[in-house]
């Protein structure tokens, strides 16, 4: 009985000891937590109460709402663009300029449309009046009319190039080349290009798209037609060469004829002159018998011959002659 009592007493003392130890440990933790709280208060100040926390949250929420409303009330349009205003999805009549503008928050939004010079290029093929296949490439520089970008967006959308420019190029090339035969598209190339460019410009301007320049490459044809054109050109060049040769021969013949006529005229003139000279000599001989002696003296070199024949050498009497020039 005594042993049981001692055992019970010992267990109780151990339990009391554990309880005291746990209590001391809790007190130590509480004291440590209180020190940390005091340090936080000293560093950051006294924490707000529940009422102050609610006011702070409400103020923060109000600021956020104001910021969102302000941001939704302002539209900024980039340089080189115009703003199309949509009211609950419907296009409005007004167009916003570059820069800062106000809009109705949450119900209006802005779509930007570029109005700077843009480039579009497309390949096109068609048939000529004589049913030859023709292909070419059309490139154009254009810009949107800034005053009607809202109408362009309303009728064509942002993908207006694919909706209107590309089909216009195709239809214009088809309609224009059909007015020319294939050879005229070569010989009248500039006229055909001008017709295509003018028709593209007049069609697009009706949709608010202003064309600045239109560039059209040379027309391309099928290999068979290109070969036939090449052969025809060669034949025409050969015919032209033959024509030039004939023209040169004709010119040479005309030159020879003119030369022959000139020679003949010269001979006639010479014969006429000699005939007149003979008549003059005959007239002179009739009037002056000493004329022959005078000619002989003019032609004599002043030297006597070294040998003469058996007859008597004639002697010219010059005493009565007066030397005169021929």
What band does 322 get if pLDDT is binned at 50, 70 and 90? very low
Out of 26-30, 192-196, 223-227, 308-312, pick the least confident: 308-312
The stretch 112-130 carries a mean pLDDT of 93
Q: Which residue has the tokens 């209107």?
A: 164
CB 104: neighbour CB atoms within 10 A?
Answer: 12
- pLDDT of 253 strictly over 70: yes
pLDDT computed for residue 201 by the predictor: 95
pLDDT computed for residue 220 by the predictor: 86
- pLDDT of 70 strictly over 80: no
DSSP letter for each residue of 29-70? HHHHHHHHHHHHHHHH-PPP-HHHHHHHHHHHHHHHHHHHHH
What band does 246 get if pLDDT is binned at 50, 70 and 90? confident
pLDDT computed for residue 67 by the predictor: 81
CA dihedral 90, 95, 97, 100 (to 10 degrees): -40
What tokens appear for 129 in the block?
Answer: 């009046």
Q: How many helices (H) and strands (E) does the chain have?
A: 9, 9
Average pLDDT value over all residues in the chain: 79
CA dihedral 160, 168, 146, 215 (to 10 degrees): 120
Contact 197, 212 (CB under 8 A): no
Contact 174, 126 (CB under 8 A): yes
Output Rg (C-alpha) for the chain, integer angstroms.
Answer: 61
- Partners of 125 in the beta sheet? 135
pLDDT computed for residue 310 by the predictor: 53
The stretch 25-29 carries a mean pLDDT of 73
Centroid of chain to Cα 127: 25
User: Where does residue 283 rank: exposed (0-12), middle (13-18), buried (19+ CB within 10 A)?
Assistant: exposed
Sequence ranges of the domains in the chain: 1-31, 49-114, 118-221, 238-298+322-326
pLDDT computed for residue 325 by the predictor: 47
Q: Which residue has the tokens 């007859």?
A: 311
b/e per residue 75-100 (b: at least 16 CB within 10 A): bebeeebbbbbbeeeeeeeebbebee
Q: Which residue has the higher pLDDT, 295 or 307?
A: 295
What band does 154 get if pLDDT is binned at 50, 70 and 90? very high
What band does 200 get if pLDDT is binned at 50, 70 and 90? very high
Instruction: Provide the percentage of residues in the chain whose pLDDT is more than 90.
Output: 34
Residues 6+ apart with CB under 8 A from 103: 72, 73, 74, 75, 85, 109, 110
The stretch 8-16 carries a mean pLDDT of 58
Fold of 118-221: Tetrahydropterin Synthase; Chain A (3.30.479)
Q: What length does the chain have? A: 326
């Amino acid at each position: 009985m005594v042993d049981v009592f001692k055992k019970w007493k010992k267990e109780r003392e151990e339990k009391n000891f554990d309880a005291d130890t746990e209590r001391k440990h809790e007190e130590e933790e509480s004291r440590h937590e209180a020190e940390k709280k005091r340090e936080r208060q000293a560093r950051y100040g006294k924490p707000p109460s529940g009422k102050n926390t609610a006011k702070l949250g409400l103020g923060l929420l109000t600021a956020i709402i104001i910021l969102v409303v302000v941001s939704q009330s302002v539209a900024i349009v980039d340089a080189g663009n115009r703003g199309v205003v949509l009211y609950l999805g419907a296009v409005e009549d007004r167009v916003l300029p570059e820069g800062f503008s106000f809009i109705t928050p949450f119900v209006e939004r802005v779509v930007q449309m570029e109005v700077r010079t843009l480039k579009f290029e497309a390949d096109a093929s068609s048939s000529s009046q004589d049913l030859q296949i023709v292909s070419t490439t059309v490139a154009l520089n254009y810009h949107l009319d800034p005053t009607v970008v809202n109408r362009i967006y309303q009728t064509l959308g942002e993908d207006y190039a694919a909706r209107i420019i590309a089909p216009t190029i195709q239809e214009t090339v088809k309609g224009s080349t059909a007015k020319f035969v294939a050879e005229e598209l070569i010989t009248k190339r500039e006229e055909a290009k001008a017709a295509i460019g003018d028709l593209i410009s007049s069609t697009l301007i009706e949709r608010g798209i202003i064309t600045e320049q239109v560039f059209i490459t040379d027309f391309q044809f099928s290999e068979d037609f290109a070969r036939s054109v090449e052969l025809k050109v060669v034949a025409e060049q050969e015919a032209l060469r033959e024509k030039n040769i004939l023209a040169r021969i004709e010119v040479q013949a005309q030159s020879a004829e003119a030369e022959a006529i000139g020679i003949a005229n010269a001979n006639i003139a010479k014969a006429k002159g000699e005939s007149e000279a003979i008549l003059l000599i005959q007239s002179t001989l009739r009037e002056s018998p000493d004329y022959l002696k005078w000619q002989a003296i003019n032609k004599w070199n002043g030297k006597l011959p070294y040998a003469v024949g058996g007859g008597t050498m004639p002697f010219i009497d010059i005493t009565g002659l007066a030397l005169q020039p021929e």
